[in-house]
Structure 1
Amino acid sequence: MSDIRGLQAWMRVLSDQDLPTLNSVVKAICELSDDNQSSTHDLTQIILRDADLTSRVLKIANSVHYNRSFTPIKTISRAIVQIGFINLKNITLASSLIDSFLKGKPRELLIQRLAKSFHAAVQARAMVPYLNNEKQEQVFIAALLRHIGELAILSTGREAAEKFIVARDLHPENELGLSMEYLGVDIHHLNKSLIREWSLGELVTEACDRQGKHSLMAHVVNLGNEVSLHIHKGMQHARMVQVCEQISEQCEISIEDAHKQILLMAEEASVIAKTYGAESLLKALPQRDAIEAKQPAQPTGYELSQYLNQMHTLMIEGESMSAVMQSAVLALQEGAGMQRAAIAMMDYESKCLDVRYIAGNGTNHWRENGRIELERLHKGELLHEFLRAQQPLWHESAKDTTPPGMLRKFIQGGDCMLGGLKINKRIVAVVYADGAGKVMTERQFEEFQLVVNQLNLMLRINAVSN
């Protein structure tokens, strides 16, 4: 039982005692008008008065998800011009919430629930590719906030909150009874009250409403939520099969393509979590090899062509370059038969390469531990020589005596390949593939270069069109 019982008691704790700063920042952001010139100034001031928030917002604004031209965004005013007021407003809101919940040493259950909300947001946004970018961001934010009540009570560290979540997850059919037992209030009532108190918007309010017919945007918010709740059971589970069918109908795509989209967005969630500086969520987000039971398939000989076609389809349909890059590492690993593949983004501000996109067994920890500080590179080592020459490189371990240096943490004594992604002759990312300790082939090097060249072409087209 809890010493805090009832709606008013919990609202007082959340608003006045445990989350007063978050409460004021979130309300200030949400109450900004979307079409008022003074709101632009007000948002700028909200961001600039917090140096950490300013740094986080600029980092996100410069990511491949928002800054498609890769032209550095160095000021908040420039960010508003380049990515738009609404996008920046939503980035600021999401960043503020995530940072507040993850400050200090958050308990494991809070990390797990925030990871589910984050994953739901990424899945939901992918279901409305035909909507403009601003509406996609509204869907993302609404899905992220869909369970704000649960996140808020868990962030207090109160024992009753954790006991309720654990018991409810074991017996979801008895949610109301358990909520009244542990909290003294219906969790849905608390959730809706918090959404109203913090002015979180009409879309998340509609998505949480169990009565009446939902709009398309509210429907996909709830579909994203369903994916995040059940994906840990595996893609073959009956509930996930149903969700796949619903996404297929919603997006007007085949069930097979809906299946692929869910898997791709599960990977995308980890990429975006790193972009938001939320590395602590990575272990709690779904891993492809854990949710998809791979059946040995007879090679057809045109696997790479299928993945290249997928990359082009994503590009044509207006998906982010991030989704294209995740598809590219799968093209290398599954299409070209390379054991492991990754793309590391160049961060000139902090002078490092940061692994974002991965594929292959044993690569899950690369996102957490794959950061390479460029100032620590030594002349003559593999990565240093590649960055100097900026030409596709095949390191044949049996012939090449170049020391692996900082790449030693990836290479297992076998061959590896490196390629650069460039905008205006400036490297923005490095593509990596290896044989996991094995020898690689001439054909694989040709296919590696093909994928890298396709990515470079898409990046340039994307930069010009934006």
Structure 2
Amino acid sequence: MKESFRSTLIKRIVQNPDFPAFARTVQEAYRITDDELASANDLSALILRDPALTHRILRLANAAHFRHLGGQINTVTRAVTVLGFEEVRLAALALSLFEQIESREHSRVLQSRFLQALYQAFLAQDLARELGGLSAEEMFLCALFQDFGALLVYRHAPEHIAEIERARREEGMDEDTAIQKVVGVLPAALARDVCRQWGLPESARRFLTTARASGKITRLTPEARALRMAQLARESGEVIARGESAEAIRRDTLELARRCDIGPQVFEQASASAREHMLGYEELLSHSDGRPAFLQRLEADEDTPMPADFAAADEEPEERSERLIRCIEQTTQDLTDDYALADLFGRMLEAMREGLDLDLAVLFMLDRKAWKLDPRMGGGPLYARHKGEMTVSLSHNSRLAQLFQTGEDRNITRPKQAGDDILGWQFGGAADVAMIYPLQVNRAPFGVFYLEGRRSVFTEGNVNSLRTLRNQAALAIKSRSRR
């Protein structure tokens, strides 16, 4: 049964419609990272082939953490120049991996867990620079891929997340042991299988092992030294993710460093550098309800309560909008009868707006000739005021245009300050998040549902209801076109 589940899990990963494109992107990103002769032009060409990756790299370059490096950055070439070749090529690989595991379902857990992996990668990179003798880039990749198997399980088997966490909490298991017990999959083996499917070289897979290196880092062979440093980074990230207090986190991470014969000053300097580096990625990777727990823990002081991402696992079932549920039931009935698309879409938007008390609910339709999104109908207190300015050019580098073209359900968090990627009519009310639900028919882009409201109303149950309504809308269009 366990072996059967492993096969099922691998099929889920490989059969994801985005898998082939991401496999090519990651393979090429790793080739460029591994090739000392690769040029900035090679890297820019790779990034520009992927609109979502291009957008994220530009956002990273324009993040407040990097803004002092050279003002507004509008091109990938400029980003490579300002951030540096090494920074951008590692960011391209890391963000491609995040794109593969990102999901609205259980997004809090996935975001926090990926941020933990990213912190570990920066910590290993900075330790390599402090201590010398190892490639900083190789250590970044080694530490990042150490957690890839666990991330794949959380992304493609989310129904088991609560059980895995329960095994960790109640039986004191480490993450790999808990995952293997619950789903019968060893994360390192799963990561190797997927990396092999991607065609990544053995240099990318050699640290995906259950073998452990022990002893003082300075006395080990280069191979064992790299593995030991990656393990130290991973164990340090785990202490941060699950420590009982800021004082305990500092004490336990320094103890881990001492066992490796790394001085406290060197380790704390590398830790501070890794934390600082995370600031540039925070806005890119944090879209859940509130700041992910790992980031809060990373900056906690002695008086800060230790948050967790798994607290909701044992809570009472969440409330769901009855208005959305009734709309789903009514639409199901309508699809078996004669219906007018305009009436059906109007009822959906009204249910979304009133059921979740949204500031704005709009259905955009794609104008292929002009390559733009036109607002066809909508509701909410902001719709009548802004309808005339809501046309969205898909050639413009706006967040909405970028997310529509990815074809995936995403969200936009209300920015702390105005930016070129946020359109003038967005976030004109009290909403703190905009949900984007692309509408596709026969896998071709057709339109998008755009919803602005408070984070608290977009619970997992309500999000599932919204997706169902979007899917029903696509089915209605498809069925009508056949008549």
TM-score where L is the length of structure 1 = 0.52
After TM superposition, give the deviation of residue 123 of structure 1 in Å: 3.0
Q: Pick from 259, 282, 299 the counterpart of residue 274 of structure 1.
A: 282
Q: Pick from 293, 297, 321 the counterpart of residue 284 of structure 1.
A: 293
Aligned to 2:52: 52
Q: Secondary structure at the match of 1:276?
A: helix
Matched, 1:244 2:254: yes
Kindly provide the CA deviation profile for residues 103-148 of structure 1, in whole angstroms up to 9, marking residues without a partner as x.
444443323322322332333333234379x943443343233211
After TM superposition, give the deviation of residue 225 of structure 1 in Å: 1.3
Aligned to 2:389: none
Are 1:207 and 1:218, in contact at CA under 8 Å, matched by a contact in 2? no
Q: Secondary structure at the match of 2:70?
A: coil
Output the amino acid matched with 1:160.
H
Query: Using the alignment, how far apart are the partners of 1:140 and 1:277 within structure 2?
Result: 18
Structure 1 residues 38 and 244 mapped into 2: Cα distance closer, same or farther (>3 Å)?
closer
Kindly provide the CA deviation profile for residues 249-305 of structure 1, in whole angstroms up to 9, marking residues without a partner as x.
7685446x745764x45853651332535344833224369854369xxxxxxxxxx
Aligned to 1:12: 11
Are 1:163 and 1:182, in contact at CA under 8 Å, matched by a contact in 2? yes
Kindly provide the CA deviation profile for residues 293-346 of structure 1, in whole angstroms up to 9, marking residues without a partner as x.
369xxxxxxxxxxxxxxxxxxxxxxxxxxxxxxxxxxxxxxxxxxxxxxxxxxx
Query: Using the alignment, how far apart are the partners of 2:137 and 2:145 within structure 1?
Result: 12
Q: Secondary structure at the match of 2:211?
A: coil
Matches within 5 A, 1:44-443: 44-63=44-63, 69-70=69-70, 73-130=73-130, 135-160=135-160, 162-168=162-168, 170-173=170-173, 178-198=178-198, 199=200, 202=203, 205-206=206-207, 208-211=209-212, 214-231=223-240, 232-237=243-248, 241-247=251-257, 253-254=263-264, 258=267, 262=271, 264=272, 267-268=275-276, 271-274=279-282, 276-280=284-288, 282-287=291-296, 291-293=300-302, 371-373=416-418
Aligned to 1:30: 30
Are 1:116 and 1:228, in contact at CA under 8 Å, matched by a contact in 2? yes
Output the amino acid matched with 2:244.
K
Structure 1 residues 226 and 261 mapped into 2: Cα distance closer, same or farther (>3 Å)?
same
Equivalent residue pairs, number: 300
Query: Using the alignment, how far apart are the partners of 1:75 and 1:173 within structure 2?
Result: 46
Counting aligned pairs with the same residue, the percent is: 20
Query: Using the alignment, how far apart are the partners of 2:280 and 2:135 within structure 1?
Result: 18
Aligned to 1:303: none
After TM superposition, give the deviation of residue 15 of structure 1 in Å: 1.9
Query: Using the alignment, how far apart are the partners of 1:186 and 1:278 within structure 2?
Result: 28
Query: Using the alignment, how far apart are the partners of 1:169 and 1:15 within structure 2?
Result: 31
Query: Using the alignment, how far apart are the partners of 2:18 and 2:52 within structure 1?
Result: 18
Query: Using the alignment, how far apart are the partners of 1:177 and 1:372 within structure 2?
Result: 44
Aligned to 1:353: none
Are 1:34 and 1:85, in contact at CA under 8 Å, matched by a contact in 2? no
Kindly provide the CA deviation profile for residues 69-116 of structure 1, in whole angstroms up to 9, marking residues without a partner as x.
426544333444554444322111112222343344444332332232
Structure 1 residues 184 and 25 mapped into 2: Cα distance closer, same or farther (>3 Å)?
same
Query: Using the alignment, how far apart are the partners of 1:284 and 1:274 within structure 2?
Result: 12
Q: Secondary structure at the match of 1:373?
A: coil
Kindly provide the CA deviation profile for residues 142-199 of structure 1, in whole angstroms up to 9, marking residues without a partner as x.
3233211111121124423553354245435487775455323333322333344432
Are 2:111 and 2:285, in contact at CA under 8 Å, matched by a contact in 1? no
Aligned to 1:404: none
User: Which consecutive unaligned segments of at least 5 residues does structure 1 have?
Assistant: 296-348, 351-367, 376-466
Kindly provide the CA deviation profile for residues 204-239 of structure 1, in whole angstroms up to 9, marking residues without a partner as x.
6326451456544433322221122112322443x8
Structure 1 residues 18 and 95 mapped into 2: Cα distance closer, same or farther (>3 Å)?
same
Structure 1 residues 117 and 279 mapped into 2: Cα distance closer, same or farther (>3 Å)?
same
Are 1:126 and 1:265, in contact at CA under 8 Å, matched by a contact in 2? yes
Query: Using the alignment, how far apart are the partners of 1:201 and 1:284 within structure 2?
Result: 34
Structure 1 residues 173 and 167 mapped into 2: Cα distance closer, same or farther (>3 Å)?
closer
Output the amino acid matched with 2:60.
I
Q: Secondary structure at the match of 1:293?
A: coil
Output the amino acid matched with 2:251.
V
Are 1:118 and 1:144, in contact at CA under 8 Å, matched by a contact in 2? yes
Q: Secondary structure at the match of 2:184?
A: coil
Structure 1 residues 109 and 186 mapped into 2: Cα distance closer, same or farther (>3 Å)?
same
Kindly provide the CA deviation profile for residues 350-379 of structure 1, in whole angstroms up to 9, marking residues without a partner as x.
9xxxxxxxxxxxxxxxxx87813389xxxx
Aligned to 1:446: none
Query: Using the alignment, how far apart are the partners of 1:290 and 1:67 within structure 2?
Result: 21
After TM superposition, give the deviation of residue 47 of structure 1 in Å: 1.4
Q: Secondary structure at the match of 2:5?
A: coil
Are 1:4 and 1:183, in contact at CA under 8 Å, matched by a contact in 2? no
Structure 1 residues 234 and 194 mapped into 2: Cα distance closer, same or farther (>3 Å)?
farther
CA RMSD for the aligned pairs?
4.3
Output the amino acid matched with 1:222.
Q
Are 1:143 and 1:221, in contact at CA under 8 Å, matched by a contact in 2? yes
